[in-house]
């Protein structure tokens, strides 16, 4: 069966509207719990969340679902998504669940599920969970005497902080560096400043006052302007912007210039190649990765393997190819020596290690290659299917012909939002702009 509930990154939507309702989330928990109930040991699931108001609604619904099928629940409270993946493995849990819609506004929410190995579920397992929901989960209910129990893990923050710090080279310190950290009023609002401070940095904190409504609002990795301005205002050496669940990272150098995920991938790949740590003779990016990154890696004798958009697919390709570095232009950086999913804080520390050893300004270190002009536009659509319209297909064909062999054109539906993403890149910036504009206008006309 095709997946209906699960998208690119778990289940996502408007809070208190299908599928993000207590009833549906309860069913997902019961089905997922039944799917991973194997053997006669006491089964366990860990649940974390970000700072959205709707987390208070979804956390007890998930807890009730898992308890009803006989699973014990450990509640972590607000904590980054990669912390949930780490603690799933550390506590030898059967499942890990993160309640978050990542970089989306507060009114959205979602459910991300990790298996016992700390990796996000495969399409096959997600289909199996959906099949259980369709069939009905009443047969999976535990006897009254075998219901699960729920408790909170009081030191979850401390465990994750120490784990993240352990990934930074022991011989290095961040003393002498002033760092602005933008926590997006999200899941890392406590842990990110503490990690940097405990490693010796002078930390300027912004967007660390979540109120249930302000997650990602004019802050974080998708809106880094305030972080850039704070870097200039405070004469900082670097700025870090995380998203709502802290699995992605965008940087700013000391001049306020942004550094995206492609540059971070190039930096880490080159550093790890020089130190003999890079596995798989290359890295895994996505179809969105800039051609400039590909050319930079080729100059180093390394490969760029392109996966579909979504850090879950990046990780699947990394495991298949034996690579230990992968990620997305948007800032999801996966370093599998340390984590099973994107981790903004761990990625930041690897970049900071390079910066400390180089003893040069961030502007001289972090711009590894010259990116080709690339333009991405998002077109919001309703329930129509404009990509199937002959007028849109003709516009796409014309755009590909105009770019010729000197660029790329990528049109895709978002897996997390009701939008179509139109991306083009090439040597000629004006031509790239015209191609994107023509396709976007056609889609808008067709979609109404």
The residues assigned a catalytic role are 102
Whole-angstrom distance, CA of residue 419 vs CA of residue 417: 6
Do residues 402 and 434 touch, judged by C-beta distance below 8 A?
A: yes
Do residues 352 and 259 touch, judged by C-beta distance below 8 A?
A: no
Whole-angstrom distance, CA of residue 384 vs CA of residue 405: 32
Please list the helix, strand and coil fractions of the chain in percent, rounded to the nearest 5, in that order.
40, 20, 40
Do residues 281 and 116 touch, judged by C-beta distance below 8 A?
A: no
DSSP string, 100-159: --TTS-TTEEEEEEE-TTSPBPPHHHHHHHHHHHHH-SGGGPPPGGG---EEE-TTHHHH
Q: Which long-range contacts (CB under 8 A, 24 or more apart) does 353-357 make?
A: 353/168, 353/169, 353/172, 353/271, 354/267, 354/268, 354/271, 355/177, 355/237, 355/238, 356/172, 356/173, 356/174, 356/177, 357/172
Do residues 262 and 330 touch, judged by C-beta distance below 8 A?
A: no
CA distances from 9 to 88, 124, 224, 250, 267 (A): 18, 14, 23, 20, 26
Helix (H) or strand (E) holding 24: helix 22-35
Q: Which residues of 241-272 are buried (b: 16+ CB within 10 A; e: fewer)?
A: bbbbbbbbbbbbbbebebbbbbbbbbbbbbbb
Whole-angstrom distance, CA of residue 7 vs CA of residue 178: 39
Whole-angstrom distance, CA of residue 28 vs CA of residue 220: 30
Do residues 373 and 426 touch, judged by C-beta distance below 8 A?
A: yes
């Amino acid at each position: 069966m095709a997946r209906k509930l699960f998208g690119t990154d778990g289940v996502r939507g408007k809070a208190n509207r299908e599928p993000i309702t207590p009833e549906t989330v309860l069913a997902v928990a019961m089905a997922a719990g039944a799917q991973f109930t194997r053997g006669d040991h006491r089964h366990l699931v860990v649940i974390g969340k970000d700072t959205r108001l709707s987390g208070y609604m979804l956390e007890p619904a998930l807890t009730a679902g898992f308890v009803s099928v006989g699973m014990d629940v450990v509640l972590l409270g607000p904590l980054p998504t990669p912390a949930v993946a780490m603690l799933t493995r550390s506590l030898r849990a059967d499942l890990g669940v993160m309640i978050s819609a990542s970089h989306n506004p507060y009114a959205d929410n979602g459910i991300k599920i990790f298996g016992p190995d700390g990796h996000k579920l495969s399409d096959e397992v997600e289909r199996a969970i959906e099949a259980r929901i369709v069939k009905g989960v009443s047969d999976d209910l535990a006897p009254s005497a075998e219901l699960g129990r729920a408790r909170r893990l009081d030191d979850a923050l401390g465990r994750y902080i120490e784990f993240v710090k352990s990934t930074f080279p022991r011989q290095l310190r961040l003393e002498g560096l002033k760092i602005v950290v933008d926590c997006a009023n999200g899941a890392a609002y406590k842990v990110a400043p503490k990690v940097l401070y405990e490693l010796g940095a002078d930390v300027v904190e912004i967007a660390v006052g979540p109120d249930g409504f302000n997650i990602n609002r004019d802050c974080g990795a998708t809106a880094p302007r305030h972080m850039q301005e704070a870097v200039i205002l405070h004469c900082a050496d670097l700025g870090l912007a995380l998203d709502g669940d802290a699995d992605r990272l965008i940087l700013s150098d000391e001049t306020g210039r942004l550094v995206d995920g492609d540059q971070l991938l190039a930096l880490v790949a080159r550093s790890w190649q020089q130190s003999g740590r890079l596995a798989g003779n290359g890295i895994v990016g996505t179809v969105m990765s800039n051609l400039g990154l590909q050319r930079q890696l080729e100059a180093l004798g390394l490969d760029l393997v392109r996966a579909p958009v979504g850090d879950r697919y990046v990780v699947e390709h990394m495991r298949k190819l034996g690579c230990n570095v992968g990620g997305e232009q948007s800032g999801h950086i996966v370093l599998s020596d340390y984590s099973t999913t994107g981790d903004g804080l761990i990625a930041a520390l690897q970049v900071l290690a390079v910066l400390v050893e180089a003893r040069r300004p961030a502007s001289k270190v972090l711009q590894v290659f010259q990116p080709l002009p690339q333009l991405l536009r998002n077109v919001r659509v309703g329930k129509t299917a404009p990509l199937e319209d002959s007028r849109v297909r003709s516009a796409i064909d014309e755009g590909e012909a105009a770019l010729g062999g000197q660029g790329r054109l990528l049109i895709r539906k978002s897996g997390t939002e009701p939008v179509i993403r139109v991306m083009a890149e090439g040597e000629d910036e004006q031509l790239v702009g015209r191609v994107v504009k023509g396709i976007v206008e056609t889609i808008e006309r067709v979609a109404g």
